[in-house]
Structure 1
Amino acid sequence: MSNRAVLEVIALSPQDAIAAQAGGADRLELVTDMAADGLTPPPETFGAIRAAVDIPLRVMLRLSDGFAAGDIDELLASARVLRAEGAEEFVLGFLDAGGGPDLVAIERIITEIKGCRWTFHRAIDRAADREALRKELAGLPGLDTYLTAGAASGVSEGLPTLEAEAARAGEPGYEAQIMVGGALRLEHLPRLLAAGIDAVHIGGAARPRGWAGPVDARVVGEWRTALDT
C-alpha cells in the first residue's frame, strides 16, 4: 500500500462492503447492531463479506452496549469461531468500573487472537485517564491502532486532544496509529491531516439514508478524494 491515509468504513453486509471498496476504502470494520454502537457480527456475515471483497477486515469483539467486557468466555468463543472462519484482525476495548482498561479481559482476548492485529476502539474516549490507559496498554502484542474522536461527544470537541496526541507519535504509549472516528465530518479533515493524522473511520457518514440504508460508494469516494488531496 502507498503512503496515502487509511480510510476505514463500517460494513454491516456484503453490499456495504462492496460499495465501500468500490468507493476507495482501505479497510472495513465489521459489526452488527449499530443501535448498540456496534457488536460482534455473526460468523456467517464475516464469511459472506470476506468472500465479497479483498481488502482487510477488522471484526468487532463486543457483546453489548457500553464498555464492560461482560461474559469473557462468550467473547473468547466468538473470537475462536471468527478466527476459524478466517478473521485475522479485530477491534476491542473494555474499561473496568474505575474507567481504566480492563486488562484481565483484554489480555485474555489477545491471547485467544495471538498473532492478529487489533484496534483499541472508542472506549479510550470514555476512559478516566487517556494517557494512563495508553501507557497501561503499551506493548500489548498486536495493538496497532486507537480508534478515537478525542472526546466522548465526537471529533468537534476532541480536535485539540487529537492534535496533541498526534504530536506525541512514537513516544511510549503513542506508538499505535491514531484512527479518527466518531461524528467525523469532511470539514475536519484539513486540520487532522495537518496534524499528521493518517487514518480515519466513517460509519453513518457513508450512508446518506442513515443506518437503515446502505453504504454509498459515491460518498465513500468523496472521502477518498478529500483524504488524497
Structure 2
Amino acid sequence: MRKPILEVVVTSAQEAVAATAGGADRLELAADLEVDGIAPSVKEFMRTRDAVGIPLRIMLRDRGGFQPADPEELRAIASALRAEGAEEFVLGFLTSDGALDLLAVQALLEVIPGCRWTFHRALDHAADRHAVRRAIDGLPGLDTVLSAGCVTQVRDGLDVLTEEAGRQGEPGYTMAMMAGGGLEPKDLPLLRARGIGAFHIGTAARQGAWDTPVDPIAVRCWRQHIETALEVIPPAAGRVDV
C-alpha cells in the first residue's frame, strides 16, 4: 500500500515551513486564496523553494474562475517560474460554456515542458466532467486530478468521487485522484477504502479563514486522520485493496 499524500495550500515560505513541519508531503503555492488562488510572484516562489525540501506545485491562474484574463501574460509568468526552477504546477481552464479550453491548457504546457502538473477543480465546474477527463487524459506531464466531485464540497460529491475511483485505469481515469475542497476528516475512511490516496487541504490547515496562517498542529492532525482512516471504515463501505 502506498503512503497517502497530504497536499497543503500555502501562500508563503513561512507557511510552507509550517506545513512541512506538520507532515505535509506536497505543497501548492498560490496567492489570493480568497479567489481560489492565482499565480504567486516569482520572488515568493524562490523564497518558498529555498525554504523547504518537499515537492512544490505552483498555481497558474491570473484571476478567479477558470478562464484566463490574459493568456500571453500567464504564459510569461509560467515561463519565468520555470526559469527559476519551478518543476510542478497546477492549472486548468474552461470555456464560457463549461467545456475544456484545451487551447489555453496547451498554450501553458508549451512553456513548461517536462513538468508534472495537476488539473485542478475546474473539473468540478465543467458542463461534462467525463468529457473533460477524457480530453485531458494523456496530456504531457499530467499526473493528478483534484476534485471535490461537485462544485460545493467533498461531502456532497462522495458518490461521484467513489464512482470515478472505481473506473481507475479506464480512458479518462488514468491520472491519480486527489480529493479536496471542503474535505473533512469524516470523509477520509470511505475515500481511502475506495482507493483514493491523495488529499488536499486549504482552510483546514489553518485555525481560521484564508487570512490566518497555516498551523503545523492542524496539519499534523490531518496527517494522523489520513494515516488511520482505514481503521474506521464505515461498515457499508467494505474494505478494499488500495
User: TM-score scaled to structure 1, two decimals?
Assistant: 0.98
What residue is the counterpart of 1:36 in the other structure?
Answer: 35
Classify the secondary structure of the residue corresponding to 1:160.
helix
| Shift >4 Å, 4+ stretches | none
What residue is the counterpart of 1:212 in the other structure?
Answer: 211
In the TM superposition, what whole-angstrom CA distance separates every residue of 1:50-86 from its partner, at most 9, and x where no partner exists?
1110000000000001111221101100001101111
Q: 2-side partners of 1:174 and 1:131: how far apart?
A: 9
Q: 1-side partners of 2:98 and 2:14: how far apart?
A: 37
- The answer to whether the 8 A contact 1:204-1:210 is kept is yes
Q: 2-side partners of 1:69 and 1:168: how far apart?
A: 31
Matched pairs, number: 228
Q: Name whichever of 65-74 and 156-165 sits farther off.
A: 65-74
- The answer to whether the 8 A contact 1:47-1:85 is kept is yes
Q: 1-side partners of 2:76 and 2:93: how far apart?
A: 17
What residue is the counterpart of 2:162 in the other structure?
Answer: 163
The offset of 1:97, in angstroms, is 1.8
What residue is the counterpart of 2:152 in the other structure?
Answer: 153
The offset of 1:154, in angstroms, is 1.0
Q: 1-side partners of 2:84 and 2:125: how far apart?
A: 32
In the TM superposition, what whole-angstrom CA distance separates every residue of 1:109-164 from its partner, at most 9, and x where no partner exists?
11111100010000000000011101111111011111100000111110000000
What residue is the counterpart of 2:177 in the other structure?
Answer: 178
Return 5+ residue gaps in structure 2 as ranges: 229-242
The one-letter code sitting in structure 1 at the alignment partner of 2:199 is V
Q: Percent identity?
A: 53
What residue is the counterpart of 1:89 in the other structure?
Answer: 88
What residue is the counterpart of 1:141 in the other structure?
Answer: 140
Q: 2-side partners of 1:11 and 1:168: how far apart?
A: 31
Q: 1-side partners of 2:211 and 2:104: how far apart?
A: 32
What residue is the counterpart of 1:191 in the other structure?
Answer: 190
Q: 2-side partners of 1:13 and 1:109: how far apart?
A: 23
Q: 1-side partners of 2:113 and 2:9: how far apart?
A: 24
What residue is the counterpart of 2:240 in the other structure?
Answer: none
What residue is the counterpart of 2:117 in the other structure?
Answer: 118
Classify the secondary structure of the residue corresponding to 1:112.
coil
Cα root mean square deviation, aligned? 0.9
- The answer to whether the 8 A contact 1:69-1:95 is kept is no
User: TM-score scaled to structure 2, two decimals?
Assistant: 0.92
Return 5+ residue gaps in structure 1 as ranges: none
* In the alignment, structure 1 residue 26 sits paired with structure 2 residue 25: yes
The offset of 1:209, in angstroms, is 2.5
The offset of 1:3, in angstroms, is 1.7
Q: 2-side partners of 1:212 and 1:131: how far apart?
A: 34
What residue is the counterpart of 1:226 in the other structure?
Answer: 225
The one-letter code sitting in structure 1 at the alignment partner of 2:202 is G
